[in-house]
Amino acid sequence: DAKTTQPTSMDCAEGRAANLPCNHSTISGNEYVYWYRQIHSQGPQYIIHGLKNNETNEMASLIITEDRKSSTLILPHATLRDTAVYYCIVRALAYGNKLVFGAGTILRVKS
Amino acid sequence: DGGITQSPKYLFRKEGQNVTLSCEQNLNHDAMYWYRQDPGQGLRLIYYSQIVNDFQKGDIAEGYSVSREKKESFPLTVTSAQKNPTAFYLCASSIGGVYTFGSGTRLTVV
């Protein structure tokens, strides 16, 4: 699975959009981009995933560049409860593949 | 509601003792996983199972054992051979690449 690079930490004001970047320059054509988040002392929570088109759900939007070498997770109106570690993971959808977690980005939403 | 149940939430073990962590899911997922998380670190894969009666070692399997006799259950045993077992243990199941995690078991060796 391709390796990802994320900033160590970011701050965001409450009510503003949080834009979390992820670089995955070695991504293969069959690898998806997944985003999970982990609130302190809880299990990770699935947010969104995509292959090449932009995706949106009730939690967030995922913007993938045309060359697929980077992506951005957007939380449109961040709240204090969005403070968490956000993991960007690339993974092929194939039998036997596992999620490999990096260090992620610590997002601090401040009032 | 469907989900993953891990028990107990907190577990204390004396050195030299084996201990088993429970993980049960009612999501009808074939694949299940065990991860370990140390303070300030990311998750590391211990064992995973793609189907009943089959499982594979992850990146840090030494000192751990698992079984998968039922689709719903994937217990993890931390043996006395695990030299540094104090950690946060997370169980997950998946379908179509989307993982659902339990709330974790925090194991402390005393």
In this prediction, residue A106 has a pLDDT band, given cuts at 50, 70 and 90, of very high
pLDDT tens digits, one per residue of B83-107: 899 999 999 999 888 999 999 999 9
Chain A residue with minimum CA distance to B32: A98
User: How far does the CA of residue B22 sit from the closest CA of chain A (Å)?
Assistant: 15
Rg (CA), chain A: 13
pLDDT tens digits, one per residue of A1-39: 668 999 999 999 999 999 999 999 999 988 999 999 999
Chain B residues whose CB is inside 8 A of the A98 CB are 33, 45, 48, 58
In this prediction, residue A95 has a pLDDT band, given cuts at 50, 70 and 90, of low
Nearest to B50 among A87, A96, A102 (CB): A96
Check: CB of residue B76 under 8 Å from CB of residue B21.
yes
For chain B, the farthest-separated pair of C-alpha atoms sits apart, in whole angstroms, at 40
Distance CA A28, CA A35 (A): 17
Per-residue confidence (pLDDT) for residue B1, from 0 to 100 = 61
Burial class of residue A77, CB neighbours in 10 A (0-12, 13-18, 19+): exposed
To probe the interface with B, which of A40, A88, A93, A98 has the most B CB atoms within 10 Å? A98
Per-residue confidence (pLDDT) for residue A90, from 0 to 100 = 92
